[in-house]
Amino acid sequence: MEPFVAVILVGVPLAWLVGFAGYAYVDAPNHGMDRRKWALISFVVPLFGFLAYVFERDEQDYDPETDPYAGGSEERSGGFAVHESRQGEKRLGPAGTEADEGDDGDDEWNDPDGIDL
């Protein structure tokens, strides 16, 4: 067997296994997992071990207080995120007309009774 073919047949898959194991080793502590265990699983069980690691890791913690689009601001209403540069502008109504400041009770969409959006 020629050396070039041997490098391709053995070296490339081995490099992929080392890469998968290295990623699991570095990333596992960020998700509260044992780095040695998941690196070993990713290396010994080709491809399936790495995919098992990716699907088993916990999601990172989400803090809605640090998310500007989480809906915690009093300035926004209706659940829509408004960019900071557009905060002071008047709201638009249907078809680009200016929206009324107050709600006159008129149901624009003819929703059935009991549905308040």
- Structure pTM? 0.50
Report the pLDDT value the prediction gives residue 76, as an integer from 0 to 100. 44
Domain membership of residue 78 (yes or no) is: no
Domain assignment of residue 36, yes or no: yes
Which is higher by pLDDT, 24 or 46?
A: 24
Place of tokens 């098992």: 52
Helices 48-56, 12-27: inter-axial angle, 10-degree rounding: 20
Tell me the residue range of the domain where 11 lies. 3-56
Q: What is the reported pLDDT for 22?
A: 96
Q: Measuring CA to CA, which residue among 5, 51, 44, 53 is closest to residue 25? A: 53
Residue 104 lies in a domain: no
Whole-number mean pLDDT of the chain? 78
Is residue 21 included in any domain, yes or no?
A: yes
Three-state DSSP at 98 gives strand
Domain count for the chain: 1
